[in-house]
Amino acid sequence: MPSIIEEKSDTKEKQPKAGKKARTVDKWKKKQWYQLVAPAEFDKKVIGETVAEKPKNLLGRVVKVNLDDLTGQRLKRHISVLFKVSGVEGNQARTTLVGHGISGGFMNRLVRRRMSKMEVTQTVQTVDGNKVKVKSIALSARKLRRKQESAIIREIRDKVEKGAAKKTFSQFSQELVFGVLASKMFKQLAKIAPLKRFETVKSQLLEEKGAARGESSAEETVGRGADLEPAKPEAGQPEQSEDAAQA
Protein backbone atom coordinates (compact mmCIF):
# COMPACT_ATOMS: atom_id res chain seq x y z
CA MET A 1 0.00 0.00 0.00
CA PRO A 2 1.46 3.39 -0.95
CA SER A 3 2.01 5.96 1.77
CA ILE A 4 2.66 9.68 1.84
CA ILE A 5 6.10 10.18 3.38
CA GLU A 6 6.39 13.97 3.29
CA GLU A 7 3.98 15.81 5.56
CA LYS A 8 2.84 19.39 5.71
CA SER A 9 -0.53 20.89 6.52
CA ASP A 10 -2.64 22.11 3.59
CA THR A 11 -3.95 25.14 5.44
CA LYS A 12 -3.23 27.10 8.59
CA GLU A 13 -5.86 26.99 11.28
CA LYS A 14 -6.99 30.41 12.46
CA GLN A 15 -7.23 30.84 16.19
CA PRO A 16 -10.55 32.30 17.39
CA LYS A 17 -10.40 35.74 18.98
CA ALA A 18 -10.92 36.04 22.70
CA GLY A 19 -14.60 36.15 23.66
CA LYS A 20 -15.81 34.67 20.34
CA LYS A 21 -17.08 31.14 19.90
CA ALA A 22 -15.11 29.10 17.39
CA ARG A 23 -17.03 27.70 14.44
CA THR A 24 -16.60 24.05 13.59
CA VAL A 25 -15.61 23.58 9.93
CA ASP A 26 -15.54 20.17 8.27
CA LYS A 27 -12.45 20.44 6.07
CA TRP A 28 -13.15 17.11 4.36
CA LYS A 29 -16.17 18.61 2.59
CA LYS A 30 -13.83 20.91 0.68
CA LYS A 31 -11.44 18.16 -0.40
CA GLN A 32 -11.48 15.96 -3.50
CA TRP A 33 -10.01 12.57 -4.31
CA TYR A 34 -7.23 12.29 -6.89
CA GLN A 35 -5.71 9.23 -8.51
CA LEU A 36 -1.92 8.91 -8.28
CA VAL A 37 -0.55 7.83 -11.66
CA ALA A 38 2.90 6.27 -12.17
CA PRO A 39 5.18 7.70 -14.89
CA ALA A 40 5.42 6.31 -18.42
CA GLU A 41 8.25 3.88 -17.57
CA PHE A 42 5.76 2.15 -15.27
CA ASP A 43 3.01 2.16 -17.93
CA LYS A 44 1.13 5.02 -16.20
CA LYS A 45 -0.48 2.62 -13.76
CA VAL A 46 -2.70 3.96 -10.98
CA ILE A 47 -0.66 3.44 -7.80
CA GLY A 48 -3.05 4.89 -5.25
CA GLU A 49 -5.42 7.69 -4.32
CA THR A 50 -5.10 10.79 -2.16
CA VAL A 51 -7.17 13.83 -1.18
CA ALA A 52 -6.51 17.55 -1.38
CA GLU A 53 -8.46 20.78 -1.16
CA LYS A 54 -6.74 22.25 -4.23
CA PRO A 55 -4.71 20.66 -7.05
CA LYS A 56 -1.69 22.83 -6.19
CA ASN A 57 -1.55 21.22 -2.75
CA LEU A 58 -0.71 17.90 -4.42
CA LEU A 59 2.50 19.15 -6.04
CA GLY A 60 5.61 17.77 -4.40
CA ARG A 61 3.94 15.00 -2.41
CA VAL A 62 6.19 11.94 -2.22
CA VAL A 63 4.62 8.48 -2.24
CA LYS A 64 6.37 5.22 -1.32
CA VAL A 65 5.15 2.11 -3.16
CA ASN A 66 6.27 -1.47 -2.57
CA LEU A 67 7.66 -3.01 -5.76
CA ASP A 68 5.74 -6.21 -5.08
CA ASP A 69 2.48 -4.23 -5.20
CA LEU A 70 3.66 -2.49 -8.35
CA THR A 71 4.87 -5.55 -10.29
CA GLY A 72 3.24 -8.54 -8.63
CA GLN A 73 6.65 -10.14 -8.02
CA ARG A 74 6.96 -11.38 -4.42
CA LEU A 75 10.76 -11.60 -4.66
CA LYS A 76 10.78 -7.79 -5.05
CA ARG A 77 8.80 -7.07 -1.89
CA HIS A 78 11.91 -5.87 -0.04
CA ILE A 79 12.21 -2.94 -2.50
CA SER A 80 10.25 0.32 -2.27
CA VAL A 81 9.96 2.95 -5.02
CA LEU A 82 9.49 6.68 -4.39
CA PHE A 83 7.26 8.79 -6.65
CA LYS A 84 6.70 12.57 -6.46
CA VAL A 85 3.63 14.37 -7.76
CA SER A 86 4.73 16.65 -10.61
CA GLY A 87 1.44 17.76 -12.17
CA VAL A 88 -2.34 17.47 -12.00
CA GLU A 89 -4.83 16.96 -14.85
CA GLY A 90 -8.46 16.69 -13.83
CA ASN A 91 -8.65 14.10 -11.05
CA GLN A 92 -5.33 12.50 -11.93
CA ALA A 93 -2.00 13.44 -10.33
CA ARG A 94 1.04 12.62 -12.48
CA THR A 95 4.14 11.40 -10.67
CA THR A 96 7.84 11.05 -11.44
CA LEU A 97 10.30 8.50 -10.06
CA VAL A 98 12.63 10.13 -7.51
CA GLY A 99 14.31 7.20 -5.79
CA HIS A 100 14.14 3.73 -4.30
CA GLY A 101 15.19 1.81 -1.21
CA ILE A 102 15.87 -1.74 -0.02
CA SER A 103 14.72 -2.61 3.49
CA GLY A 104 17.48 -2.71 6.08
CA GLY A 105 16.16 -5.97 7.45
CA PHE A 106 16.68 -7.71 4.11
CA MET A 107 20.36 -6.72 3.95
CA ASN A 108 20.96 -7.45 7.65
CA ARG A 109 19.81 -11.04 7.18
CA LEU A 110 22.54 -11.53 4.57
CA VAL A 111 25.37 -10.42 6.86
CA ARG A 112 27.36 -13.21 8.50
CA ARG A 113 30.46 -13.45 10.65
CA ARG A 114 33.84 -13.70 8.94
CA MET A 115 32.75 -11.69 5.91
CA SER A 116 33.54 -8.14 4.77
CA LYS A 117 30.89 -5.47 4.29
CA MET A 118 31.78 -2.51 2.06
CA GLU A 119 29.48 0.52 1.85
CA VAL A 120 29.79 3.34 -0.69
CA THR A 121 27.66 6.49 -0.76
CA GLN A 122 28.24 8.82 -3.69
CA THR A 123 26.57 11.56 -5.73
CA VAL A 124 26.55 11.01 -9.49
CA GLN A 125 25.18 12.94 -12.46
CA THR A 126 23.21 11.46 -15.34
CA VAL A 127 23.61 12.47 -18.96
CA ASP A 128 20.52 14.71 -18.74
CA GLY A 129 21.98 16.68 -15.83
CA ASN A 130 20.15 15.12 -12.87
CA LYS A 131 22.13 14.60 -9.67
CA VAL A 132 21.47 11.35 -7.82
CA LYS A 133 22.69 10.12 -4.44
CA VAL A 134 23.38 6.37 -4.54
CA LYS A 135 24.26 4.03 -1.68
CA SER A 136 25.76 0.63 -2.52
CA ILE A 137 26.68 -2.35 -0.34
CA ALA A 138 28.95 -5.28 -1.25
CA LEU A 139 29.15 -8.41 0.91
CA SER A 140 32.06 -10.81 0.45
CA ALA A 141 31.93 -14.59 0.68
CA ARG A 142 34.81 -14.54 3.19
CA LYS A 143 36.87 -12.05 5.15
CA LEU A 144 38.93 -9.90 2.77
CA ARG A 145 42.26 -8.17 3.13
CA ARG A 146 42.25 -4.38 3.45
CA LYS A 147 43.79 -4.07 -0.01
CA GLN A 148 40.95 -6.08 -1.57
CA GLU A 149 38.31 -4.02 0.24
CA SER A 150 39.87 -0.76 -1.01
CA ALA A 151 39.99 -2.10 -4.57
CA ILE A 152 36.29 -3.04 -4.44
CA ILE A 153 35.30 0.38 -3.08
CA ARG A 154 37.24 2.16 -5.84
CA GLU A 155 35.64 -0.06 -8.49
CA ILE A 156 32.13 0.64 -7.15
CA ARG A 157 32.68 4.41 -7.21
CA ASP A 158 34.11 4.31 -10.72
CA LYS A 159 31.53 2.00 -12.33
CA VAL A 160 28.47 3.62 -10.75
CA GLU A 161 29.67 7.10 -11.75
CA LYS A 162 30.42 6.03 -15.33
CA GLY A 163 27.14 4.12 -15.56
CA ALA A 164 25.14 7.20 -14.57
CA ALA A 165 27.05 9.48 -16.95
CA LYS A 166 26.00 7.38 -19.96
CA LYS A 167 22.26 7.24 -19.22
CA THR A 168 19.31 9.51 -18.59
CA PHE A 169 17.90 9.58 -15.07
CA SER A 170 14.93 7.48 -16.19
CA GLN A 171 17.21 4.79 -17.66
CA PHE A 172 19.61 4.87 -14.71
CA SER A 173 16.86 4.66 -12.09
CA GLN A 174 15.29 1.69 -13.88
CA GLU A 175 18.62 -0.15 -13.67
CA LEU A 176 18.85 0.67 -9.96
CA VAL A 177 15.30 -0.36 -9.08
CA PHE A 178 15.23 -3.65 -11.00
CA GLY A 179 18.78 -4.75 -10.16
CA VAL A 180 20.28 -4.50 -13.65
CA LEU A 181 23.18 -2.38 -12.44
CA ALA A 182 23.67 -4.63 -9.40
CA SER A 183 23.92 -7.67 -11.67
CA LYS A 184 26.58 -5.98 -13.81
CA MET A 185 28.52 -4.81 -10.77
CA PHE A 186 28.46 -8.24 -9.12
CA LYS A 187 30.13 -9.75 -12.17
CA GLN A 188 32.82 -7.03 -12.26
CA LEU A 189 33.56 -7.06 -8.52
CA ALA A 190 33.79 -10.86 -8.39
CA LYS A 191 36.97 -10.56 -10.47
CA ILE A 192 38.62 -8.73 -7.55
CA ALA A 193 37.43 -11.00 -4.72
CA PRO A 194 34.71 -13.61 -4.13
CA LEU A 195 31.40 -11.89 -3.36
CA LYS A 196 28.16 -13.10 -1.82
CA ARG A 197 25.98 -10.09 -2.71
CA PHE A 198 26.00 -6.62 -4.21
CA GLU A 199 23.05 -4.22 -4.01
CA THR A 200 22.36 -0.56 -4.68
CA VAL A 201 20.35 -0.23 -1.49
CA LYS A 202 19.17 3.37 -1.87
CA SER A 203 18.91 6.14 -4.44
CA GLN A 204 17.56 9.68 -4.15
CA LEU A 205 17.12 12.37 -6.80
CA LEU A 206 18.83 15.45 -5.37
CA GLU A 207 18.48 17.93 -8.20
CA GLU A 208 15.94 17.78 -11.01
CA LYS A 209 17.05 19.46 -14.21
CA GLY A 210 14.35 21.93 -15.23
CA ALA A 211 11.77 20.47 -12.84
CA ALA A 212 9.49 22.66 -10.75
CA ARG A 213 9.61 22.22 -6.99
CA GLY A 214 6.23 21.84 -5.27
CA GLU A 215 5.28 22.01 -1.63
CA SER A 216 4.29 18.74 -0.03
CA SER A 217 1.38 18.01 2.29
CA ALA A 218 -0.04 15.07 4.19
CA GLU A 219 -3.28 13.31 3.35
CA GLU A 220 -4.75 9.85 3.65
CA THR A 221 -3.73 7.50 0.81
CA VAL A 222 -5.47 4.35 -0.37
CA GLY A 223 -3.23 1.98 -2.33
CA ARG A 224 -4.00 -0.22 -5.29
CA GLY A 225 -1.84 -2.92 -6.86
CA ALA A 226 -0.65 -2.69 -10.46
CA ASP A 227 0.61 -5.25 -12.95
CA LEU A 228 3.50 -4.54 -15.28
CA GLU A 229 6.60 -6.18 -16.61
CA PRO A 230 9.85 -4.93 -15.00
CA ALA A 231 12.97 -4.13 -16.97
CA LYS A 232 15.07 -7.25 -17.58
CA PRO A 233 18.86 -7.58 -17.29
CA GLU A 234 20.79 -7.23 -20.53
CA ALA A 235 21.63 -10.39 -22.41
CA GLY A 236 24.68 -12.16 -21.02
CA GLN A 237 24.44 -10.54 -17.57
CA PRO A 238 24.02 -13.05 -14.69
CA GLU A 239 21.36 -12.55 -12.06
CA GLN A 240 22.35 -12.74 -8.40
CA SER A 241 20.81 -15.64 -6.51
CA GLU A 242 18.23 -14.94 -3.83
CA ASP A 243 20.30 -16.08 -0.84
CA ALA A 244 17.77 -14.85 1.67
CA ALA A 245 14.22 -15.17 0.35
CA GLN A 246 11.76 -13.66 2.75
CA ALA A 247 9.10 -15.78 4.37
Burial status of residue 133 (CB atoms within 10 A of its CB: 0-12, 13-18, 19 or more): middle
Which segment of 108-122, 203-217, 227-241 scores lowest on mean pLDDT?
A: 227-241
Query: Which pLDDT value is given to residue 174?
Result: 93
Q: Which domains does the chain have, with CATH numbers?
A: 3-7+28-223 (3.30.479.30)
- Summarize the confidence of residues 101-130 as an average pLDDT: 92
pLDDT category, 22, cuts 50, 70, 90? low
User: What tens digit of pLDDT does each residue of 159-202 get?
Assistant: 999 999 999 999 999 999 999 999 999 999 999 999 999 999 99
pTM: 0.73
Residue 95 vs residue 104, higher pLDDT:
95
- Summarize the confidence of residues 58-83 as an average pLDDT: 89
User: What tens digit of pLDDT does each residue of 27-69 get?
Assistant: 777 788 999 999 988 888 999 999 998 889 999 999 999 998 8
